[in-house]
Copies of this chain bind each other. A is one copy, B any other.
Amino acid sequence: MNKGRLEAFSDGVIAIIITIMVLELKVQQGEDLEALHPVWPAFLSYVLSFVYVGIYWSNHHHLFHAVKQVSGPILWANLHLLFWMSLIPFVTAWMGENHFAPWPVALYGGVMLMAGFAYYILAHVLVAFHGKDSVLAKALGRDFKTILSLALYTTAIPLAFVKNWIACGLYVLVAVMWLVPDRRIEKALSEKSTS
Contact = CB atoms under 8 A, between A and B. Distances in A.
Interface stretch (A93-101, A124-132, A144-152): A93-101
A143 interface: no
A154 interface: no
Interface stretch (A16-24, A114-122, A134-142, A167-175): A16-24
Contact of A31 (B25, B103, B186): B103
Provide the main secondary structure of the chain A interface. helix
A189 to B, nearest CB: 9
- Chain A interface bracket (under 10, 10 to 19, 20 to 34, 35 or more): 35 or more
A17 B14 contact: no
A44 to B, nearest CB: 13
Contact of A18 (B30, B61, B86): B86
Given A58-B76, A83-B50, A90 B22 contact: yes
Interface in A1-18: 1, 5-9, 11-18
Interface of A: 1, 5-9, 11-20, 22-25, 27-28, 30-33, 35-36, 47, 50, 54, 57-58, 61-62, 65, 72-73, 75-76, 79, 82-83, 86-87, 89-90, 93-94, 97-98, 101-104, 107, 179, 181-183, 186
